[in-house]
Amino acid sequence: MTVKERFLNYVSYWTTSEEDVETFPSTKRQFELAKVLEQELKDLHLSKVKVDENCYVYGLLPATKGYESKKAIGFISHMDTAPDAPGKDVKPQIIENYDGNDIILPGTGEILSVKDFPDLKTLTGRTLITTDGTTLLGADDKAGIAEILTAMEEIINENIPHGDIWIAFTPDEEVGRGTDFFDLDYFKADYAYTLDGDYEGEVAYENFNAAAAVFQITGVNVHPGSAKDIMVNAAAVACEIQGMLPEAETPWHTEDREGFYNLMHISGNIGSAELSYIVRDHDKTLFRERIDTLKSIEKKMNEKYHSDTVKLTVTDSYYNMLEVIEKHRYVVDIAEKAIQSIGLELVSNPVRGGTDGAQLSFKGLPCPNLGTGGYGFHGPFEHISVEGMENAIKIIKEIVKNPIDV
């Protein structure tokens, strides 16, 4: 089966995850694709194949004879799609020999424009797959799944010698829980790669340090006619807190390694209010300083009003994998060599987000991120080229061809 055929099959499955759901996985529909992938792994005659109770799919392509002493490698992608846009009833649009110009999305009439997505020009002449405008596409990260499985099939058919190759497909990555129940006692790789980026010639090993921060505000609600020196308007305090944060340190003012505070939700009235933020920075010292800034705001508000007016709760989400990868630089070196060996320009940009690989790295599995060839993730402008996916397959195979002795 070709990578294109696999990809178009996978995007037909509705696997959108959901935020703020206590069950795991957050949506049972992810099991439908998991069962399909389990069968595909069995059809390829991998061993250790299973879907566990938490919707993780695992499989092992055992080492070829004479390569049993090589370090075991892993490849990982996620099955869910982002809740930012509809993921049901995806209708892909296939454009052969793409001409490099703007594209009309037939379901809505919206324009996938070269101005907004300049990468489109680099895809001229390729077979392009877009949405019809009514849903996201699902290249994030069903392209990664298709690439891994197609690469495994080709490795088997071409008799490429290799050490143990572990495969895993995870649920709920898009809601930040993709590694919550990842079984590293079962998945016995020494190092791994997530395939979850865009440009296929990229290897990423820097990401944000991340936290969630929530201000809960308790006001004093009395009749406004007799409110002098008594009322504390919680909604107004919430606005005041937002106004104390640096105006330029938001996602729409920052790039590269610049961090930010992002107000995700605000609600309230006179009696109570709530502000929820995500806090991001590549530099851990600056990241901690951002948390300290929020704590100082909490202190100032409680000094200005009542001592129990504002309560701040901060929960760390993930950290920059760079501090782990620096100790295992060979993982990046192998990927960079593989990318260059197929004639692609090597790119390594700091990820302005997180990956399953970041959390796995801190759990003991060095795991940088590779590109899939897709762009415009999480919305109706998502697109990918068949040739980009084919390049990702070549990179996987080149990585496998360079095993490391234990």
Report, as residue numbers or ranges, the catalytic residues: 80, 173
Q: Under the phi-then-psi rule, with left for phi > 0, alpha for psi from -120 to 50, and beta for the rest, what region is 373?
A: left
The DSSP bridge pattern shows strands 73-78 and 165-170 to be parallel
**Backbone torsions φ then ψ of 296, nearest 5 degrees:** -70, -35
- Calculate ∠ Cα 173-127-204, nearest 5°: 35
Report long-range pairs for 345-348 (Cβ below 8 Å, ≥24 apart).
345/201, 346/201, 346/202, 346/203, 347/199, 347/201, 347/202, 347/203, 348/202, 348/203, 348/204, 348/205, 348/206
What is d(CA 26, CA 349) in angstroms, rounded to the nearest whole number?
30
Kind and range of the H or E run holding 216: strand 209-218
CA of 208: how far to CAs of 160, 237, 253, 360, 378, in Å?
A: 36, 29, 16, 14, 19
Look at residue 261 and give its three-state secondary structure. Answer: strand
What is d(CA 334, CA 70) in angstroms, rounded to the nearest whole number?
14
Please say whether the beta carbons of 96 and 123 come within 8 A.
no
For the residues of 120-156, what is the DSSP string, one character each? GGGGTTS-EEE--SSS---HHHHHHHHHHHHHHHHHH
Q: Which residues contact 134 (CB under 8 A, 6 or more apart)?
A: 86, 89, 91, 107, 108, 380
